[in-house]
Amino acid sequence: MSWYRNTVWFVKGLREYTRGGYESASKHFNPADVEVDVAGRSFLVTGANSGIGKATAKEIARRGGTVHLVCRNKERAEVAKEEIVTETGNQNIFLHIVDISNPKEIWKFAEKFRNEHKLNVLINNAGCMVNTRELTEDGLEKNFATNTLGTYIMTTALLPLLEKAADARVITVSSGGMLVQKLNISDLQSGSGPFDGTMVYAQNKRQQVVLTEQWAKAHRNIHFSVMHPGWADTPAVRSSMPDFYERMKNSLRTEAQGADTVLWLAVSAEATKLPSGLFFQVRQPVPTHLPLAYTHSPPEDEEKLMEVLEEFSQKFKSVSP
């Protein structure tokens, strides 16, 4: 059935995930939803030096929020911070250099951050699509380490801070690619069979949807959401999917259009009127499974994913500096 799922996803995406899909949906947006003042609220955005992360951080800064940029590359991050401060006039922009593929670094950062700052909204945007199987210095497959384990540790490590906050939210940037994947807990690090970076990425994004649903059940006073930004013209798309970019470049959304639903989930009052744990695109909750795609998983598989990630998390916490 993989051919069927891929075909459905592609056809659906051509219609809904492009710039035209965004422009059509945006006719029904209420501009007032995001015309808000968030001064005094604190936002943390991972992967914030470019693409959707930077676009989101910039829009939050325009609205007066305190923004913590979590980035891997110091030089690019400093340029992004300067751009955000210059364009928005907001001086409350803080930079933290963290490699989200390195769990020990995440723990070290989170423990320090909890002691020094408050946090109202966490935006898990950092991600990667590595098209050959690479291992990190900890022996972790890089896509899994960044997209799944990194997201898990960053979120769980900051939950104590979020639990204390008013109107706390966690937003994770996923992908519609997850619609072609059923959760596979037997090979989380893609060590068996041929390696397909696109499908590994899609599997990671399915895992992020499951994480969001599980967190929503366990932490009732925090609003969790996961979203698909559509197909946007970002540096990550250009570098990781060059053939796709060449085919679709005239139909891709702008970075700001890709970031719109992230912003809406982060700042609007309307977002938290909807249940926690949902998957969104263009400001609307949408199903996490396509009809007849057979991508549903038994609850025990979803629980097992959480158990395995917690084991990894604690292992690296115990050896963090």
CATH code, domain carrying 153: 3.40.50.720
**Of 251, 248, 242, 274, nearest in space to 261 by CA:** 274
pLDDT in tens, 254-308: 889 999 999 999 999 999 999 999 999 999 999 999 888 899 999 999 999 999 9
Residue 226 has pLDDT above 50, yes or no: yes
The region that residue 164 occupies, defined by phi over 0 for left and psi between -120 and 50 for alpha, beta otherwise, is: alpha
Residue 3 has pLDDT above 50, yes or no: no
Query: What confidence tier does 1 reach under pLDDT thresholds 50, 70, 90?
Result: very low
Within a domain: 213: yes
Within a domain: 22: yes
Within a domain: 197: yes
Tell me what pLDDT residue 293 has. Answer: 80
Query: What confidence tier does 12 reach under pLDDT thresholds 50, 70, 90?
Result: low
Q: 5 versus 139: which is more confidently predicted?
A: 139
Within a domain: 321: no
Within a domain: 284: yes
Residue 172 has pLDDT above 80, yes or no: yes
Tell me what pLDDT residue 140 has. Answer: 98
Domain count within the chain: 1
Q: How many CB atoms lie within 10 A of CB 71?
A: 26
pLDDT in tens, 41-95: 999 999 999 999 999 999 999 999 999 999 999 999 999 999 999 999 999 999 9
**Of 74, 68, 158, nearest in space to 110 by CA:** 158
- Mean pLDDT in residue range 86-114: 98
Helix (H, G, I), strand (E, B) or coil at 95: strand
Range of the domain at 64: 3-316
Structure tokens at 274: 């909807």
| Cα-based distances in Å from 204 to 24, 148, 172, 306 | 29, 6, 12, 13
Residue 233 has pLDDT above 70, yes or no: no
Within a domain: 154: yes
Q: In what order do the strands lie in the sheet with 168-173?
A: 93-97, 66-71, 42-46, 121-124, 168-173, 222-227, 278-281, 284-285
Helix residue ranges per DSSP H, 96-187: 103-116, 142-143, 151-163
Query: pLDDT exceeding 70 applies to what percent of the chain?
Result: 89
Query: What confidence tier does 209 reach under pLDDT thresholds 50, 70, 90?
Result: very high
Per annotation, catalytic residue among 17, 22, 152, 201 = 201
| Known catalytic membership, residue 201 | yes
Considering only 56-65, 112-121, 141-150, 172-181, which range has the smallest mean pLDDT?
172-181
> If 0-12 CB within 10 Å is exposed, 13-18 middle and 19+ buried, where does residue 36 land?
middle
Q: How far apart are the first and last CA of the chain?
A: 46
Q: 248 versus 163: which is more confidently predicted?
A: 163
Helix (H, G, I), strand (E, B) or coil at 53: helix
Within a domain: 249: yes
Tell me what pLDDT residue 17 has. Answer: 85
Within a domain: 308: yes
- The DSSP bridge pattern shows strands 66-71 and 93-97 to be parallel
Tell me what pLDDT residue 320 has. Answer: 52
Tell me what pLDDT residue 307 has. Answer: 98
- Mean pLDDT in residue range 123-144: 96
CA-to-CA distance for 83 and 201, rounded, in angstroms? 30
